[in-house]
Structure formats: structure tokens, C-alpha cells
Structure 1
Amino acid sequence: MPEGDTVFKTAQRLDAALHGQTATRFDLRVPQAATIDLAGHTVREVVPRGKHILMRIGDWTLHSHLRMDGSWRVYRPGERWQHPAFKVRAIVATDRAEAVGVDIAEVQVVAARDEHELVGHLGPDPLADDWDAAEAAHRLSGDIRSIHVALLDQRNVAGFGNEYAAELLFLRGVLPETPTSQVDIAALLDLGVRTIRANRDRADRTFTGDARRGRTNWVYGRAQRPCRRCGTLIQTGRIGADPTRERVTFWCPRCQR
């Protein structure tokens, strides 16, 4: 599942492939931007912001979001794609590489000076150079909802998704529905920052320290399986800011109180 660490590595890979090169092909396959063509402009850089990817080309920015199933693939010129063409939403090619956005969302092009209109609402990003722990703690502490919902709100902290929320709350021994006011926010954020930065530098995400298949998570995706610590069956439920944004939660009823 794409979370902040996945987006960070995706942006790094795109930047390594396209940085400083002239776009020879620019094809957006979404109705609202299909006529825009930035071929001939230089790809200045590709940067992440939370779960958003900003590809800065000339005086413009191509924005995209991976959502649940999206990805950016990098191919050599002329290399055969490893996915159906109907899933492609964006193509940015140079003489050296071809970046293909598959099932990506929120595809938009704005003037570079207007990037803030797309990502200015986001909270501090633990993977960004300007990470502000105090501001993140302030935003989270002011949220009156459950801690699981508050962590998922990108206006509080940018980059943590459902998997991170489940795993961090397990590691801190906190139930998902606990009011944010009852949680040690500073300790939770410190753990979250250390964890997402460690995963940023790993080939595969892990919360247990074990990267073997099926061993990476404590509770996420493990409903009705024994807790790795105490053996109690992992429970699952649903929680969200409203019924249209509910997410599946996972917790150990013994380890999280």
C-alpha cells in the first residue's frame, strides 16, 4: 500500500531517471488535462510531499497521487510496458527514460508558483527537510477525534496511512478509538518519525524488524491471527471521520489498552 515512504522512494526514482533532461513526450490521459503538452521543457526535479508527487517541469508542476493502487513505472525508451495501456494516466519521456503513471489519481498541472494550492493544506512531513515536530504535535493535539482518525488526517501529519496507524498504535499500546487527548502525542510522533525514516531506507517496509514475507507486521492485515507478542487473536473493525471515509482497523485487545 502506498504510504509516505513509498511515495518518497517513487519520487527519488523518478528524479534519478528524469532530472535535468528535456521532456520529449508529455501525455496526460485524463480529461481535464489531456490537451496540456510540456514537451520541450526541462524536468527540474521530482519531489514528494506526504503522499503527493510533484514533478516540476519548466515553470509548471505535474501533480499526482498514488491513492490505493497507483504507481509510477520507469522504462528504457522503447521498452515494453508491464501493465495494460488502459491503466496509464500519464507519460513523461526523455531521450533516456520513460516515466509512466499507472492508475494514479489527482493528475493536475499548475504553474509552479501555485503548488501551494495543491499541497499547502498538508501538515508537516516527517520525510521532508522542513519537518516540524512541534507543529505536528500541535495539530494532532488539537484534534478531538480518535487517534486513529487523527493520524490519518493529512492536515495533521503528511505521510502516515492506515498501515502506519495500525502498527504505530500497536507499538504504543493504544487502542484505535482512544481519544487523541488521552495519547502521548510526542512519544507517538517520535516513534512514527523513526519508523517511517527507517522504512524509507529499506528495500521493503517492516514494523517488526523482520523483512521476510508475512513477518513484517504486528497487527495490520492479521485479523483473527495470533498476536506475535501475546497470542491473543487480532481484532478488526472500522473507523473513520465519517461513514464515507471509514478504514479497517486492526488491534490486539490485550497489548493495546
Structure 2
Amino acid sequence: MPEGDTVWQTAQRLHTALAGQALTRSDLRVPRFATADLTGRTVLDVTPRGKHLLTRIEGGLTLHSHLRMEGSWQVYGSDERWRGGPTHQIRAILGNAAHTAVGYRLPVLELLRTADENQAVGHLGPDLLGPDWDPDIAAANLLSDPARPLGEALLDQRNLAGIGNVYKSELAFLARVTPWLPVGELPADTPARLVATAHRLLEANKNSFDRRTTTTAAGRRPGDRLHVYGREGRPCLRCGTAIRKAEQGDGSRERPTYWCPGCQSGPIPGSHHTS
């Protein structure tokens, strides 16, 4: 699932291509909205909210989409060949005289009244890249269920919006605890530091475009842009211990999770003991 910085980048591309222009083409390929015709209406803005995208359109309408694991929005010039996937995977087309935005494999696509956007995104916690960012509320949300493993709490968009599986693993590493540690067992100052670090990292990476980095530049070798994520079996950049990988989830969905047994303390899968 894309992280909040990736969704922010997608919103910027869509906004640049569509905002301020009248739609000359509109095609929503989901049964509920297949007859909706937005041609002639001006796109007002495209705004990210956590991992959600809100395309606001003249006349009080909002096209709400969510990429989840497989979805994507691609922007093409008027004469450019579409390359995002086969035609049967297209769920939405929004075009103007200069650009066409094509939504592929979108699992969530709905047309709402702009006044009803909260029905889609009102459940979200403070947005790490949004104007509503509030670190105190985010930290309090993380602590609202003390028994919950840190990794699950970070991924819960109701606590704070924008963290995905990459940042989950990286943040736990930077906090020097495993993602399975109950949030109530974190040192007193750690939740505040965690949300501050999350905000700093997403802000630093929102314009990086496919070069997400959580490590410092000093002494970094090419390719060592992440501390633990995707580095199973490779040496920890801090202590040299081999990075490990396991699945973590709440029972509904398991996610690959990476950690360093040498640097991170706390519970690990298959054991009631700390690493």
C-alpha cells in the first residue's frame, strides 16, 4: 500500500494536470457511477488526505479514490500512449485539452457531494502531510490502546494518517523497539518522538519521487536508503546484525515487517521473550 508521501506526490501530479481546466472527457468505469458525466465541469483541486485522494469538481462534487495495494493514477499528454496497464483495468478517465488522468485498478472510486467528504475521510487521524497535522493528538491516539503492538498502531489510519508498511518498520527501528512491543510499554517520551520523526521523514520525502530515504547521508553507500525495510539477511547499518523479517497483522491482513535483533528491544514473533 502506498505511503502518505507517495499519495501526496500523486495528488500533486493530478492537481498540476487537471486543476483550473474544464473536463473534456469523463469516464467512471464502476457500475454505481457509470452514467455520471462530468464533462464541461472545471476541476477545482486535487487534495490528498492521508492515503486518500479527493478530486474536487465544479458543482459541489468530489471524486474520492484510494489506491490501496494495486491502484495508480497516471497522467498522460494529449498525444501520449497510455502505459499503466491493460484497458480492462481502467476504472476512471478524466481529461482536458492538454492532459488525461487515467486511474488503474482503483479499489475505491466514488462520486460524493463535496459537503459529504467526511463520510469518506472523517475517520482519519491527523494527516502527517496535511494542514490538520497535530502531533499531540497523534501521540495520544497511539496510546489510546496500550496493549496494541506498535506496528499495528502506526498503521491504523485512525491514529495518524499517512504511515504505511515501510515507515512502520523504519520508525520502530529508529525508536529502537520492535514493532511487536505494546505501545503502553514504550518509554514515556517515545510516542512524541515517534510522531515527530514520522512527520519529519514524510516531509523530507514527499518530493523525492521513487527515492525514499530514512537514513542519513553520512557514510551511506548507494542503495542504503532504508535502515531495515526490504533488507532481510543484510547487515544492519548500525550494528551489523542480520536484519530479520516476519509477518505482522491484526488477523485481517498480514504485512512483511523488518527489524534488527541487535538494535531493537521488545517481543518478536514466536517468542514471549525480548530480542
Q: Shorter-chain TM-score: what band?
A: over 0.9
Whether 2:62 is the aligned partner of 1:56: answer no
Specify which of 205, 208, 212 is matched with residue 199 of structure 1: 205
Q: CA deviation at 1:213?
A: 6.1
- The number of equivalent residue pairs is 256
Pair 1:254-2:262 in alignment: yes
Superposed CA offset, 1:66-121 (max 9, x none): 11222111111132111322221110001121011112221010111000000000
Q: Give the structure 2 partner of residue 47 of structure 1.
A: 47
Q: Quote how far apart the aligned CAs of 1:49 are.
A: 0.2
- Alignment partner of 1:244: what SS? coil
Query: Deviation of residue 34 (structure 1)?
Result: 1.5
Aligned CA RMSD, in angstroms, stands at: 1.5
Which residue is 1:239 aligned to? 248
**More displaced 10-residue stretch of structure 1: 106-115 or 197-206:** 197-206
* 1:168 is the counterpart of 2:186: no
- How far has the Cα of 1:251 moved from its partner? 0.3
Amino acid in the other structure paired with 1:253: P
Shift of 1:28: 1.1
- Which structure 1 residue ranges, 5 or more long, are not aligned? none
CA drift at 1:209: 3.8
What's the offset of the Cα at 1:5?
0.3
Cα 1:226–1:212 change in 2 (3 A) is closer
**Counterpart residue number, 1:215:** 224
Q: Which amino acid aligns with 1:217?
A: L
Code of the residue aligned with 1:179 in structure 2: it is: P
Q: Distance in 2 between matches of 1:123 and 1:6?
A: 18
Q: CA deviation at 1:246?
A: 1.8
* Unmatched runs of 5 consecutive residues or more in structure 2: 266-275
User: TM-score, with normalisation over the residues of structure 1?
Assistant: 0.95
Q: Is 2:80 aligned against 1:75?
A: no
The answer on 1:2 being equivalent to 2:2 is yes
CA deviation after TM superposition for structure 1 residue 30, in Å: 1.7
| TM-score, with length taken from structure 2 | 0.89
CA–CA separation in structure 2 for the residues paired with 1:89 and 1:161: 24
